[in-house]
Structure 1
Amino acid sequence: MSSTLDLEVFVRTADTASLSAAARSLNLTPAAASIALKRLETRLGIRLLARSTRSMRLTEEGRRYLDSVRIALEALSEGEQAIKQQGQSLSGLLQLAAPSDFGRNVLLGWLDEFKLEHPNIRLQLLLNDSNADLFRDTVDIALRFGVPRDSSLVALPVVPGHQRIACASPDYLARHGTPLTPADLAQHSTLRYMRRGQANNTWYFRQGARLQEVEVMGDYLSDDGEIVRRWALAGHGIAYKANLDIASDIQAGRLVPLLTDWQGEPTPFNLMCPHRLQVSERVKVLHGFLQARCQALLSA
């Protein structure tokens, strides 16, 4: 097992491209830093850094190993902080990505409450309907709708049984009538959502063992979930939205749920992390907080 010092020397050297700079940052002599790096490479049986008298760069194996080392060191730091902060409030940075509609209209208010409960937490929020890359973007965790497709990520369930709902404003239904079956949607203006350049023209509904797919069309199409919701509120047509996005609108009577004897497309809601070691105490507390808030919203 490598010592923490060996790992820290490797990370600092990779970040600065200088063994001498890494040694200075860790209050080591260059010789001691070099010994630590060689000890790590010997244990692994690979070269992590290609070194010459004038330059230093990561090998391909070094690049792959670097991410794992960063995660391990961060987990060790989190563990030390958790021990030191027992009985104290949570602190540190939460870098969170979330869908635009849910983020702006639901999550923002909840995060205000979360910050009041944990004043020493710092928040960084990225709102975008394109899934954030948890390995490249400046986020640590992400809220996502849908069945996780990336098996390398850790999914913490927030609302596992979540679904989409067809809905429209009372004004639209008064003018155009209420669809009674999924097939009736073909006679209505639908508000479609586009993702990665592909429009969601097929809506799914289930009634027991019966699955019905409906091809829909309409004059309104957007890659922003909040825009689709606003169009629905304005009476422009029927939307097929995540239940969490429109629960407050339904409760307030601004939108009406349709085809209630059918189940919409399953869209589980998860908190995604790149690695199990990154499920810090901050993330665990946020996860429990979101579970409770979502349950309260959907059962209101």
Structure 2
Amino acid sequence: MLRTDDLHVFVLTAELGSLSAAARRLELSPAVASAALKRLEASLGCRLLVRSTRSLRLTGEGEQYLPHARAALQSLLAGQQLLAGGKATISGPLQLSAPSDFGRNVLLPWLDEFQLQHPLLSVRLLLADRNADLFRQPVDIALRYGQPEDSSLVALPVAAANRRVLCASPAYLALHGEPHSLDELGEHNCLRFMLTGRVHERWVFHDGRRELQQQVSGDRVSDDADVVRRWALAGQGVVYKSWLDVAQDVQAGRLVVLMPQLQGEMAPLNLICAHRAHLGETLRLLREHLVTRCQTLLERAPFRNDTGR
């Protein structure tokens, strides 16, 4: 007789390409995970995976069986949700990746609220500005700005209307003055962010008719977005950040939005997952929670009447 936990081990091992990684994700010992695979193969009477000390691959039978195993697990999950009668009781680990700045300064209290509403849920939060590999890292879903480069991933919108804004602290503006044009911006110390080795130093805006670009420079660059924001708060220069990252700083007067007549580039926030049904009700409820809180911040954005160019 087939066991659903054995199916979980097989499907996750195939997706991660590693039995040990699947075991860690499921909080099993490697021996227990290996026994689950052997038990499933014995029940089916065929070999599903070819394993060695350095590699793992699906057999022909494994490739044929994998979509059926996924469908079976998804069907069982749908049945559990149906029997729950819409009570939205969720439990177990939520393994989430998020950008450093948004995660530390915006997301943390929102997750606290979410766990108070769902006390059986445990959260594992990974903060990094590099995109998490949802197939190889211990992450179920990721919050990311922009669309995923991998077309096989599913992107669920959380804040599609979000944009970048140009801002600086009152202390910096008192010393250096406020730029009123992109030409003047080029004369200011601009705090830049670096991702995958590339410095984001060409800042893009829109004046309602056309796209405008400005090459910027400055004495500080970091691959941690939270560091860049902290430099701005300390009065070290001008920063070009997602509105969601700095909305609370602007509302508290710690930062001032500059040149609001120009629209910053789009910075949509999405929940990224490998398969829509992986977390089921947990993913749905988390997304609703985040959409509501992001919308509260977006209602106060300087571009709130924007049509979304």
TM-score, length of structure 2 as denominator length: 0.80
1:36 pairs with 2:35: no
Task: Using the TM superposition, give the Cα deviation of residue 17 of structure 1 relative to its aligned residue in structure 2, in angstroms.
Answer: 9.6
SS at match of 1:93: strand
Match of 1:163 in 2: 163
Change (3 A) 1:160 1:62: farther
SS at match of 2:186: helix
Match of 1:150 in 2: 150
| Contact 2:99/2:143 (<8 A) preserved | yes
Match of 1:287 in 2: 287
| Contact 2:10/2:37 (<8 A) preserved | no
- Provide the C-alpha distance between the structure 1 equivalents of 2:69 and 2:126, rounded to a whole number of angstroms: 22
Match of 2:122 in 1: 122
1:278 pairs with 2:278: yes
1:75 pairs with 2:70: no
1:11 pairs with 2:10: yes
Higher mean C-alpha displacement, 83-92 vs 189-198: 83-92
Match of 1:224 in 2: 224
Match of 1:131 in 2: 131
- Provide the C-alpha distance between the structure 2 equivalents of 1:207 and 1:10, rounded to a whole number of angstroms: 53
Task: Using the TM superposition, give the Cα deviation of residue 278 of structure 1 relative to its aligned residue in structure 2, in angstroms.
Answer: 1.9
| Contact 2:168/2:233 (<8 A) preserved | yes
1:140 pairs with 2:148: no
Change (3 A) 1:88 1:266: closer
SS at match of 1:278: coil
Change (3 A) 1:17 1:263: same
- Provide the C-alpha distance between the structure 2 equivalents of 1:113 and 1:50, rounded to a whole number of angstroms: 44
- Provide the C-alpha distance between the structure 1 equivalents of 2:259 and 2:63, rounded to a whole number of angstroms: 50
| Contact 1:201/1:217 (<8 A) preserved | yes
1:125-146 deviation digits (Å, cap 9, x = unpaired): 1111111111111011000012
Match of 1:257 in 2: 257
Task: Using the TM superposition, give the Cα deviation of residue 34 of structure 1 relative to its aligned residue in structure 2, in angstroms.
Answer: 3.7
- Provide the C-alpha distance between the structure 1 equivalents of 2:37 and 2:62, rounded to a whole number of angstroms: 20
- Provide the C-alpha distance between the structure 2 equivalents of 1:261 and 1:166, rounded to a whole number of angstroms: 11
- Provide the C-alpha distance between the structure 2 equivalents of 1:108 and 1:281, rounded to a whole number of angstroms: 21
Higher mean C-alpha displacement, 171-180 vs 86-95: 86-95
- Provide the C-alpha distance between the structure 2 equivalents of 1:64 and 1:171, rounded to a whole number of angstroms: 61
Match of 2:27 in 1: none
Report which of the two structures shows the higher radius of gyration computed on alpha carbons. Answer: 1
| Contact 1:249/1:255 (<8 A) preserved | yes
Letter in 2 for 1:228: V
Identity across the alignment (%) = 47
Match of 2:305 in 1: none
| Contact 2:90/2:121 (<8 A) preserved | yes
1:234 pairs with 2:234: yes
1:212-271 deviation digits (Å, cap 9, x = unpaired): 111000001000000000000000000010110000000000000111001111111101
SS at match of 1:78: helix
Change (3 A) 1:117 1:146: same
| Contact 2:50/2:59 (<8 A) preserved | no
Question: RMSD over aligned Cα, in angstroms?
Answer: 3.1
Higher mean C-alpha displacement, 9-18 vs 192-201: 9-18
Match of 1:267 in 2: 267
- Provide the C-alpha distance between the structure 1 equivalents of 2:260 and 2:88, rounded to a whole number of angstroms: 47
SS at match of 1:191: strand
| Contact 2:206/2:262 (<8 A) preserved | yes
| Contact 1:242/1:267 (<8 A) preserved | yes
1:177 pairs with 2:185: no
Task: Using the TM superposition, give the Cα deviation of residue 77 of structure 1 relative to its aligned residue in structure 2, in angstroms.
Answer: 4.4
- 1:28-107 matches, within 5 Å, as 34=42, 36-38=44-46, 48-49=48-49, 58-59=57-58, 61=60, 68=67, 71-72=70-71, 74-86=73-85, 87=87, 89-107=89-107
Change (3 A) 1:96 1:9: closer
Stretches of structure 2 that go unaligned for 5 or more consecutive residues are: 20-29, 301-309
Change (3 A) 1:207 1:147: farther
